[in-house]
Amino acid sequence: MRILVVEDEDAIARGLRFNFEREGYQVDLTANGPAALELYESAQPPVDLVILDLMLPQMSGYEICRSLRRLDLDIPILALTARTLSEDKIQAFDCGVDQYMTKPFSLPELLSRVRNLLDKRRRHLDRRSIRPTEDVVRFSDVLVDFGRFELKHRDEVHPLTTREQELLRYFLENDGVVLSRARLQSEVWKDSAEMSSRSIDNFVMRLRRMIENDPSSPRHLLSIRGTGYRFLREPAADHNTAEPQ
Ligand code: CA
């Protein structure tokens, strides 16, 4: 299991990493919100648990927690903070943290809470992966394995981030439908503030490189000028709806 630590005090961060690694977890350290969110979105394999300090430069732990919740409602988040007031705890729980521990903390208690959250996480992931037929989708010579966050095209295997996978799933569920950037932004990104239409285009370009034989002349993921995109699971042989890219 993979743990993301967001902590700006270096000594604490390194101590946490040492102890988590000794428990057999994979650990990433970040010292501020933007770095943490970027790592969270691109991590492969995905992050399973976030340890979150609340007093941080740039973004507060509360803001980070809200942003994480927009990305994933289920990711376990444990706040680890010097703030002991009841108001702070209430605000943290309102932002979506699962557990709250105050510094100085007892290491055995922290490890126990982490084990508990990760056990739940594992059961949650197990339940998701017992739907193998829905988790593997084929079209043309592409095979998407949603359980493994992997896409295979011909002989190449591409790892998928959570967001790439969600976007691709949304396209598959809306086969043939013209999808505006605004709709993608609200349905796939849940209108998260950090998302711009430019980055939607970047995600689409990445998917094209993975699924199209010729990404510059796509047959599955078509651009609809002025609007957005249209995914065709089975393009007709002589389908010529693709506009020049
Ligand atoms: Ca701090």
12 CA from centroid of ligand 1 (Å): 10
3-state secondary structure 55-80: CCCCCCHHHHHHHHHHHCCCCCEEEE
Q: One-letter amino acid identity for 162?
A: T
1 CA from centroid of ligand 1 (Å): 25
> What distances in angstroms separate CA 34 from CA 38, 65, 245, one per listed residue?
6, 12, 32
70 CA from centroid of ligand 1 (Å): 23
55 CA from centroid of ligand 1 (Å): 4
- For the chain, the structural domain boundaries read 2-127, 136-231
Band the pLDDT of 237: cuts 50, 70, 90.
Answer: low
Task: Dig out the tokens for 119 from the structure.
Answer: 């056990």
113 CA from centroid of ligand 1 (Å): 20
Per-residue pLDDT tens over the stretch 196-233: 767 889 999 999 999 999 999 999 999 999 899 999 99
Over the chain, what is the mean pLDDT?
90
- State the CATH architecture for 136-231: Orthogonal Bundle (1.10)
Per-residue pLDDT tens over the stretch 46-98: 999 999 999 999 999 999 999 999 888 889 999 999 999 999 999 999 999 99
Band the pLDDT of 131: cuts 50, 70, 90.
Answer: very low
Does 136-231 match 2-127 at the fold level? Answer: no
Per-residue pLDDT tens over the stretch 26-36: 999 999 999 99
57 CA from centroid of ligand 1 (Å): 8
Domain 2-127 annotated CATH 3.40.50.2300: yes
pLDDT of residue 186: 85
